[in-house]
């Protein structure tokens, strides 16, 4: 996984879990004809400072009840959530996980969602 920075230098992702996840997302997107996974992989390839940081208040505002949301970045616990949603993120704060669970929803990693929904159906990307 290489990326171009503003200075024209090529850098590499150093986190082996992230590199494996990006490769797996691209493979699953190709094998299952699921462009949603390619989109998530493309977002994770970007520099970490450009990753999405989504607060629960945004999910409360834009997601529907029983919807599945993917955050290609970090899920933060600011705000309240009352909807029963499934949220998959690369990283999640403990406060966000607790608030989602108390609202009757489910918090998981992108890998877990990829395993349970390889076709990528009925998924909304936020961030």
What does the pLDDT profile of the chain (127 residues) look like in tens digits? 444 445 555 568 889 999 999 999 999 999 999 999 999 999 999 999 999 999 999 999 999 999 999 999 999 999 999 999 999 999 999 999 999 999 999 999 999 999 999 999 999 999 8
CA 88 to chain centre: 5
Residue ranges in the chain assigned as alpha helix (H)? 16-31, 35-45, 56-62, 94-102, 110-116
Looking at the 3D structure of the chain, how many domains does it have? 1
Q: What is the CATH classification number for the domain harbouring 76? A: 3.100.10.10
Identify whether 3 is part of a domain: no
Instruction: Assess if residue 1 is contained within a domain.
Output: no
pLDDT at 12: 80
Task: Report if residue 5 sits inside a domain.
Answer: no
What contacts 17, CB < 8 A, 6 or more positions away?
Answer: none
H-helix or E-strand containing 74?
strand 68-76
Q: How far apart are CA 64 and CA 112, in angstroms?
A: 21
pLDDT at residue number 1: 47
> What is the domain extent for residue 69?
11-126
Look at residue 86 and give its three-state secondary structure: strand
Q: Give which of 62, 60, 51 is closest to 103, Cα–Cα.
A: 60
Residue 50 in domain: yes
Strand partners, 3: 11
């Amino acid at each position: 996984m290489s990326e171009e920075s503003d200075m024209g230098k090529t850098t590499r992702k150093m986190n082996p879990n992230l590199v494996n996840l990006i490769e797996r997302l691209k493979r699953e997107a190709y094998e299952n004809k699921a462009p949603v996974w390619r989109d998530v992989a493309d977002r994770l390839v970007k520099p970490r400072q450009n990753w999405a940081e989504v607060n629960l208040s945004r999910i409360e505002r834009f997601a529907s009840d029983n919807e599945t949301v993917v955050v290609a970045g970090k899920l933060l616990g600011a705000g309240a959530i009352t909807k029963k949603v499934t949220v998959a993120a690369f990283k999640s704060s403990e406060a966000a996980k607790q608030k989602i669970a108390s609202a009757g929803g489910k918090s998981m990693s992108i890998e877990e969602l990829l395993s349970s929904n390889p076709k990528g159906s009925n998924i909304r990307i936020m961030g």
